[in-house]
Structures are given as C-alpha cells and as structure tokens.
Amino acid sequence: MAEVIDDSIPAPLNPRVRDLPWYTPFSWLKLALGDIRATPSGLLFYGLAFVAMGWSIRGLFGYAPEHTMTLVTAFLLAGPFICLGLYEISRRHETLPRVQLLPTLTALRINVAGISLFAIILALLVAGWMRVSVVVFALFFTENLPDLKLILSPAFLAEADNLTFMIVWLSAGAFFSLLTFALSVVSIPIMLDRDADTLTAMFASVRVCLANPACMLTWGAIIVLLVVLGFALWGVGVAFTVPLVGHATWHAYRALIE
C-alpha cells in the first residue's frame, strides 16, 4: 500500500500512515469476530456492561426524550474510552495464546497520563454536545416535549417545524461526532501500544482521517449503524455490536498505522 509521510514533522509525531481502500473496514470486522471467538468472556463481560448502561439511560431518562436521545448519542462519543478493555484484549491476542479477562480491566495503567487526559477531552466534548442538544430542544419545544416514541415516528417529521428541528439537531450531533471521530479513531490504541502522549495520538488520528477519507467515512458509517442497531434491538444488541466495534478498532489501528 502507498504511504502518506510528511518528513517535515519530527519522527515521534509522525507515525507512518497507510493509504487504504474504502472497503478495508469490513476486514477489521472479520478480525474482530476472531477476537470474540478467542475470548468470549470479554464479549460477555463488556457486552453486559454496555447493556446495563443502555438500560440505565432508558430507565432514568425514558420520560425525557431530550436527555434520552442526547445520552444515546453521547454513548457514541464516549465509545473510544469505554472500549479500552476490548482494545487490550485484541492487543494481547497478538502475543498470547490465551487472554485472561482480569488484566484487561486495568488497561488504563499502561498509559495513565495519556489516556486519562484523553478521557477528560472526551468528557468535555460529551458535555458540550449535551448542552447544545438540550438547547436545541428548548428552542423548538417551548411547552410540552413530544415523547421519544413520537419523535422517532414518521408522523413527527411530517410537520415542517419538526423536520427543521431534526435537521438542526442531527447537524449539531454530526459536528460533534465527526470532531470526536477524527480525534479518537486510533488515539487510544496508539497510547496503549506505543506509550504515546495524548497530543501525539490525536495528531496521528487526525492524519489517519485526512489520508483515508473514503475508508474513514465507511468505518464511521459502520460504527454508527452497528451502535444504533444495537440500541434499536431493545438495547440488548449493544452486547454484541459495541464489543465488535471495539475489537475492530484495534485492527483498524494496526492496519492504518505502521
């Protein structure tokens, strides 16, 4: 494959980025299935944790669609961090014939400073999105808020004002999602594997996106589709779809960065 290298940047800040075709992410999913088969305990533990998170959102905020929709999308933004243990399972599979679940629970210790700072940055992005989302709801629905079932129905979009609301809300969400994706697509795997600092990892992640726009658009669409599908299946589907994305992200890092 061709490589995209800018020699004007010092080597520590310039990991080699491969230029991959748009369909490459499907091979990452195949490799992720191999990780799941090799360590099913990871799927069970982390999958149940993700389901618990989804049901908690539904149980605590089911009465408030502005919070429910916001938190579900915030789950996407926080994904790079909450999948940390899954990255570690995939990393260990490369050198160990059998991976134990317990050590992956403390993967943060591998690079506490870098990953913790990155988690704070993600938290700020999530907080910013939550604030913007609530404001959009408040601007369009000054009195009674429609329930979540109505918002997701085709009849809701039949009215012009509601359609405008959905366009504005989705556009704001897309901005935060694209920004988070660009900063995080391979950031934590780099920090796990190379003990890199936060800025170096984010810089590399952005370069990956700039060098592989078609591939990254495909990968981003797959992530959104799998996570939304997981939540659509009564929240239970995330037990499989989110771990699948987590493992595949590690293989994305291996494929994109030399």
More confident residue, 12 or 106: 106
Residue 70 has pLDDT above 60, yes or no: yes
Residue 125's CB is within 10 A of a number of other CB atoms, namely 19
Averaged confidence pLDDT in the chain: 85
Structure confidence at residue 6 (pLDDT) = 42
Q: Is the pLDDT of residue 21 over 90?
A: yes
pLDDT of residue 64: 62
- Give residue-wise pLDDT tens across range 154-176: 777 778 888 898 999 999 989 99
Name the residue type at position 90: S
Model pLDDT for residues 180-198, shown as the tens digit of each residue: 999 999 999 999 998 899 9
Angle 31-38-224 from CA coordinates, rounded to 5°? 45
Contact 105, 42 (CB under 8 A): no
Check residue 206 and give its pLDDT. Answer: 95
Cα distance between residue 104 and residue 44, in whole Å:
14
Report the distance separating Cα 77 and Cα 123, nearest Å. Answer: 9
Q: At what angle do helices 65-82 and 187-194 cross, to 10 degrees?
A: 30
Whether 10 has a pLDDT exceeding 70, the answer reads no
32-46 pLDDT, tens per residue? Answer: 999 999 999 999 999
- End-to-end Cα, the chain, rounded Å: 11
Of 12-26, 60-74, 112-126, where does mean pLDDT reach its minimum?
60-74
**Would you give the DSSP letter of residue 101?**
S
Task: Give 93 or 70, the one with higher predicted confidence.
Answer: 93
> What is the model's pLDDT at position 57?
67
The whole model's pTM is what?
A: 0.85
Residue 5 has pLDDT above 80, yes or no: no
